[in-house]
Amino acid sequence: MMAKRGRIGGQPPSSGAGQTGMEQRTRILVITAVAVLLVVPPGVSAQARGWRPGNRSLTTAEEREAAAKARTIPFRPRDLSGVWGLGTNGFNLDQRTVPPMTSAGKEKYDAAKPGLGPRGVPLGNDPLMICDPLGYPRSFTYNYGMEFIETPGRMLQFFEWGHTWRTIWTDGRPLPTDVDEPRWYGYAVGRWDGDTFVVESTGFDERSWLDQDGHPHSGAMRLVERYRRTAADAMEVTITLTDPETYTQPWVTKTTLRLNPLAEIGEYFCVPSDEEIFRQKMREPAGGVARP
Amino acid sequence: MMLAAEVTMCAGRFLLVVALAGVASVASAHHGSAISYDLSKQVTLTGVVTEWVWKNPHCFVLFEVTDEQGKAVAWGAETHPTTFLVRNEVKGVPVPLSATSIKPGDRVTVTLFPSRVGAPRGLLARLADAEGKVLLDDGETRTNRRPAAQ
């Protein structure tokens, strides 16, 4: 819409005098068209571009068609922008490569009571159930979709779960050796190594779980992530987690994420008051807690 | 998908169907409740909606079913988050759900994976309105949209 306005605005000014009837009609039509463009609601405008109002609004058929079309478009390896992994809920850390835990790590792991998986118990203590921030890397492994957004000096990861983002500084600053206070999403810096985007992060708040199974980490955890776009719709990801207070060796997870062209990150907040209603009316009764 | 006996416990009012195994897929219920449901069984109930809770972390429907003794039993079935249901599909056809898709007083037929402890709660597998129109079907659809079972 802006481009059209710009082109119209760039027309040579007319004196008005001496216009033919055709010129006047043309002028009226142009003014009318501009007026229509200016008053069209954003939702309608979005529809014209292939979007529809609402969250995550593509149907399966539309999603498939957009993905097929995207694969035919040349891509720049250093362009990671877009929504990745929508609908697949990210991916889990590799449960086959979990390193041996230290005694401190084992103690925290045993205290974690997940609500899913082989260690799952009803009414566990997953921090997710009280809407604590997921933290990182759990947000990467559990997000309902993640979008990379590049801005000068920063790369942002925008997550549907929590409608939150993680800042990755790309302005050349070094990774801090002493982060002022623990952060749920840590402190991250990124750089390009060839066509691989490398992210290093530290300064994590140890209260978050790494995954649905309740694997723990300490404040000493460091992450190295490597992102490489290998095709228009594919990105290889390697996450190396090092936390000597919790694990005796680095924990490496590799996966490939798929691009979701035209997809839209929805707004999924974990709202404490809504969660309380869910707890009272569904989770606790289903788990055997009797309520009057 | 329904493999086993269909047991009518109160003609026209309380229909109970237990299906053993053969469950095509597992609906999402990550928020600390998945472990509470028996995913090897399905129960089908017909009742009247008392509340349709359109909220995260999971939407759920509360509905009243009259049992064979004529007693009203308050059931509940949870399903996906709102962000999934707004682009819900049934057999590949978009059936976007909303806060007003069903309302108190509506008669619905609900198929659910029941609570392991026998509570009148479950994980929603299928939802149909009074005319039989299927509003949600997790048995065969949305497999590519469902959160990974983590």
Contact list in B for residue A122 (CB cut-off 8 A) is 33, 35-36, 116-117
- Cβ-based contacts of A271 with chain B (< 8 Å): 55-56
- State ipTM: 0.76
Which chain A residues touch B55 with a CB distance below 8 Å? 271, 274, 277-278
Residue A263 with chain B: CB contacts under 8 Å: none
Share of chain B above pLDDT 70, in %: 70
DSSP-derived letter for residue A204 is B
DSSP 3-state of A28: helix
Residues of chain A with Cβ-Cβ distance to B81 below 8 Å are 144, 268
Q: Which residue of A has its CA nearest to B141?
A: A60
- How many CA atoms lie within 13 Å of B131's alpha carbon, on the beta-carbon side? 3
- Out of A58, A116, A278, closest to residue B57 by CB: A278
Judge whether A243 lies within some domain: yes
Q: How far is A188 from chain B (nearest CA, A)?
A: 26
Judged by a CB distance cut-off of 8 A, whether residue A127 touches chain B is no
| Helix extents (H) in chain A | 2-9, 21-39, 42-48, 60-71, 103-111, 138-141, 272-278, 284-287
Q: Give the model's pLDDT for residue A155.
A: 98
- Measured between beta carbons, which residues in chain B are less than 8 angstroms from residue A56? 83-84, 86-87
The answer as to whether B51 is a domain residue is yes
How many of the other CB atoms lie within 10 Å of CB of A88? 18
To the nearest whole Å, the CA of B6 is away from the closest chain A CA by: 24
pLDDT in tens, chain A (292 residues): 333 332 332 333 333 334 455 555 555 554 544 444 444 333 333 333 333 334 455 677 777 787 788 788 788 999 999 988 766 566 789 999 999 999 999 999 999 999 888 898 888 899 998 999 999 999 998 888 899 999 999 999 999 889 999 999 999 999 998 888 999 999 999 999 999 999 999 999 999 999 989 999 999 999 999 999 999 989 999 999 999 999 999 999 999 998 888 777 878 888 999 999 999 999 999 988 876 6
Q: How far from chain centre, in Å, is Cα B67?
A: 18
The whole-angstrom distance between B40's CA and the closest CA on chain A is 15
Calpha distance B115→B123 (Å, rounded): 8
Report the C-alpha gap between A210 and A213 in whole angstroms: 8
Does residue A13 form part of some domain? no
Whether the Cβ atoms of residue A212 and residue A224 lie closer than 8 Å to each other: no
Instruction: Determine whether the interchain pair B53/A268 forms a contact, defined as Cβ–Cβ distance below 8 Å.
Output: no
SS3 A4: helix
Q: What is the chain B residue with the closest CA to A58?
A: B87
Query: In angstroms, what is the C-alpha Rg of chain B?
Result: 14
DSSP string across B97-126: --TTSS-TT-EEEEEEEEBTT--SEEEEEE
Residues of B with Cβ-Cβ distance to A144 under 8 angstroms: 81, 83-84, 147
Q: How many CB pairs under 8 A join A and B?
A: 144
Q: What is the pLDDT of residues B64-86, one digit of tens each?
A: 999 889 999 999 999 988 878 88
Q: Which residue from A197, A200, A201, A170 is spatially nearest to A183, judged by alpha carbons?
A: A201
Residue A88: the pLDDT is 59
**Tally of domains within chain A:** 1
A89 in reach of chain B (CB within 8 A): yes
Residue A112 resides in a domain: yes
In a domain, A30, yes or no: no
Shortest Cα–Cα distance, B18 to chain A (Å): 18
Instruction: Answer whether A281 sits within 8 Å of B62, measured CB to CB.
Output: yes
Q: Which domain holds residue A272?
A: 80-286
Range in A61-70, A278-287, B27-36, B114-123 with the lowest mean pLDDT: B27-36
Which among A16, A11, A54, A50 is positioned nearest to A33, based on CA atoms? A11
| A57, A60, A126 member nearest B92 (Cβ) | A60
Q: Which residues pair with B94 in a beta bridge?
A: B89
Contact B120 A285 (CB under 8 A): yes
**Which amino acid does the sequence have at A92?**
N
Query: Is the residue at A186 inside a domain?
Result: yes
The CA-CA-CA angle for residues B123, B124, B129, to 5°, reads: 155
Q: Which residues of B touch A274 (CB under 8 A)?
A: 55-57
Measure the CA angle with vertex B63, ends B61 and B69; round to 5°: 155
Q: Do A54 and B86 touch (CB under 8 A)?
A: yes
Asked if B33 lies within 8 A of A274 by C-beta distance, the reply is: no
Question: Which two three-digit tokens encode residue A133?
Answer: 């921030």
Q: Is residue B70 part of a domain?
A: yes
The C-alpha of A231 sits at a distance from chain B's nearest C-alpha, in angstroms, of 21
Residue A19 lies in a domain: no
Residue A270, chain B, CB below 8 Å: the answer is yes
* pTM confidence score: 0.75
Record: contact B150-A116, CB cut-off 8 A: yes
Apex CA A100: angle with CA A96 and CA A102, to 5°?
150
- Distance, in Å, from the CA atom of B134 to the CA atom of A235, rounded to the nearest integer, reads 37
CA angle centred on A201, ends A195 and A202, rounded to 5°: 165
**B58 to chain A, minimum CA–CA distance in Å?**
7
A280 touches chain B (CB under 8 A): no
> What's the domain count of chain B?
1
Residue A268 lies in a domain: yes
Residue A190 lies in a domain: yes
CATH code for position B70: 2.40.50
Contacts of B150 in chain A (CB under 8 A): 89, 92, 116-117, 141-142, 211-213
Residue B132: give the domain boundaries: 6-137
Which secondary structure element, helix H or strand E, spans residue A73, and what is its range?
A: none
Could you tell me if residue B150 is inside a domain?
A: no
Q: Is residue B147 part of a domain?
A: no
In a domain, B143, yes or no: no
